[in-house]
């Protein structure tokens, strides 16, 4: 009996590099971006575990049991996110830091730039504070005095 060979040149891509020659671009992703993606995967895992726990009968209904269950859910979610293989972290990284940005030049620029990152800072006080004139609408450009 003869062997049957199917010829499909449109499927074969001769320009593909073997896996051993493909560059690992994850080393060019800034650490804060990786941390963000990992925390998002952890939050998704926590949401998923909470939904699964709803299908199981509750053992204890007191506050200590609920607190312990919450701690266990957080730790399980962190463990799930820490393992590679979830795929969610990779999908998030591909969305917020695409492959075409993952190169040495961008990485060096990001790590060496001293541009301050905008953050939402809220001052907490032990005492009441006085509102400033701008907050009260008493600045010089106010037309409805």
> How many residues make up the chain in this entry?
145
pLDDT at 75: 92
pLDDT at 27: 87
Burial 81-98 (b: 16+ CB within 10 A, else e): beeeebebbeebbeeebe
pTM of the model: 0.58
Domain layout of the chain by residue ranges: 23-54+61-112
Q: State whether residue 49 is helix, strand or coil.
A: helix
Which residues of the chain are under the pLDDT cut of 50? 142, 145
pLDDT at 145: 46
Helix then strand then coil, % of the chain, to nearest 5: 50, 0, 50
């Amino acid at each position: 009996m003869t062997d049957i060979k199917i010829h499909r040149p449109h499927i074969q891509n001769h320009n593909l590099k073997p896996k051993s020659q493909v560059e690992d671009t994850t080393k060019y992703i800034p650490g804060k971006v990786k941390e963000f993606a990992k925390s998002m995967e952890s939050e998704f895992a926590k949401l998923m575990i909470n939904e699964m726990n709803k299908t199981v009968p509750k053992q204890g209904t007191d506050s200590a049991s609920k607190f312990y269950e919450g701690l266990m859910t957080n730790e399980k979610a962190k463990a799930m996110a820490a393992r590679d293989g979830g795929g969610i972290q990779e999908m998030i990284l591909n969305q917020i830091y695409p492959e075409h940005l993952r190169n040495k030049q961008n990485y060096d620029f990001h790590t060496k730039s001293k541009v301050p990152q905008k953050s939402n800072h809220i001052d907490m006080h032990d005492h009441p504070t006085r509102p400033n004139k701008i907050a009260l609408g008493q600045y010089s450009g106010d037309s409805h005095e």
